[in-house]
Amino acid sequence: MTDIQLPADVPGRHEEIGGLGQPARQPGIGDSDLATLTGVAAVVFPLVYFASELVEVAQGNFTTGRLVLTYLGEAGIVFAVLGLYAVQRPAIGRLGLYGALAYAYSSVFFASTVVYALAAGSKNWAAITHEFGGWFTLHGAIMVIGGLAFGLAIIQAAVLPRWTAACLMAGVVLVAAAAGMSTAVRAGAAALPQAAFVGMGVMVLRERWRTRKLRAIRAR
Contact 218, 10 (CB under 8 A): yes
Q: What is the mean pLDDT of residues 47-71?
A: 90
Q: What is the tens place of the pLDDT at every residue in 21-55? A: 444 444 557 667 899 999 999 999 999 999 999 99
The yes-or-no verdict on residue 105 having pLDDT over 80 is yes
Handedness of CA 193, 56, 121, 71 (dihedral sign): negative
Q: Higher pLDDT residue, 217 or 88?
A: 88
Q: Which residues have CB under 8 Å from 112's CB, separation 6+?
A: none
Q: Higher pLDDT residue, 59 or 194?
A: 194
At residue 31, the pLDDT reads 62
**Whole-number mean pLDDT of the chain?**
85
176: buried, middle or exposed (CB in 10 Å: 19+, 13-18, 0-12)? middle
At residue 61, the pLDDT reads 80
The yes-or-no verdict on residue 60 having pLDDT over 70 is yes
Q: What is the tens place of the pLDDT at every residue in 114-159? A: 999 999 888 888 888 888 889 989 999 999 999 999 999 999 999 9
Vertex 17 angle, CA 11 and 23, to 5°? 50
At residue 21, the pLDDT reads 41
Find the helix packing angle between 183-218 and 33-59, rounded to 10°.
160
Which pTM value belongs to this model? Answer: 0.81
Confidence class for position 19, pLDDT limits 50, 70, 90: very low
Q: Higher pLDDT residue, 187 or 3?
A: 187
Comparing 17-21, 140-144, 204-208, the range with the smallest average pLDDT is 17-21
Q: What is the mean pLDDT of residues 156-181?
A: 94
At residue 30, the pLDDT reads 61
A 10 A CB-CB count for 180 gives 10
Contact 46, 77 (CB under 8 A): yes
Percent residues over pLDDT 70 in the chain:
86
At residue 86, the pLDDT reads 95
At residue 154, the pLDDT reads 97
Confidence class for position 175, pLDDT limits 50, 70, 90: very high
Q: What is the mean pLDDT of residues 213-219?
A: 73
Where in the chain are the domains?
29-218
